[in-house]
């Protein structure tokens, strides 16, 4: 399950051993395509990786903090530290490989 980030609060995501945060927006076509991919990966990688979504329109300060200028932007955190990011839609196999390379 992908947990929605609200009120600019990424505390839970940063407390995870490994977390993936998908910065997106409801009006973004590639973001809507990536959403189901992230849901599938969250089910497959449950217990290993925490999955989160931050809507840039609802969390503008958070997007600014992480220099999100293009969406979708997927950030991977390990022990609370940013270890990788990718911008744009990626097929499920590519996204999974990217996440696994950061674990």
Question: Is-contact 97 80, C-beta < 8 A?
Answer: no
Q: Which residues are catalytic?
A: 28, 31
Question: pLDDT at position 44, please?
Answer: 96
Q: Which domains does the chain have, with CATH numbers?
A: 2-102 (3.40.30.10)
Query: What token pair was written down for 56?
Result: 């840039």
* pLDDT tens column, 33-52: 999 999 999 999 999 999 99
Distance of CA 82 to the CA centre of its chain: 11
Q: Residue 34 is encoded by which pair of tokens?
A: 């990536």
Q: Looking at residue 32, what is its pLDDT?
A: 96
Sign of CA pseudo-dihedral 63, 25, 3, 44: negative
Q: How buried is 46 (Cβ within 10 angstroms: 0-12 exposed, 13-18 middle, 19+ buried)? A: exposed
The C-alpha R_g of the chain, in whole angstroms, comes to 12
Regarding pTM above 0.85, the answer is yes
Give the model's pLDDT for residue 81. 96
Of the chain, the end-to-end C-alpha distance in Å amounts to 19
Mind listing the pLDDT tens digit for each residue in 2-24? 999 999 999 999 999 999 999 99
Omega prior to 11 cis, within 30 of 0: no
């Amino acid at each position: 399950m992908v947990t929605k980030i609200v009120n600019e609060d990424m505390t839970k995501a940063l407390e995870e051993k490994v977390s993936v945060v998908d910065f997106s927006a409801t009006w973004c076509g590639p973001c809507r395509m990536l959403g189901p991919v992230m849901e599938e990966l969250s089910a497959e990688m449950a217990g290993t990786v925490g999955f989160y979504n931050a809507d840039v329109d609802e969390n503008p300060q958070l997007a600014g903090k992480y220099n999100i200028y293009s969406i979708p932007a997927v950030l991977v955190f390990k022990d609370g530290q940013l270890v990788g990011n990718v911008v744009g839609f990626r097929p499920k196999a590519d996204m999974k490989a990217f996440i696994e390379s950061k674990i």
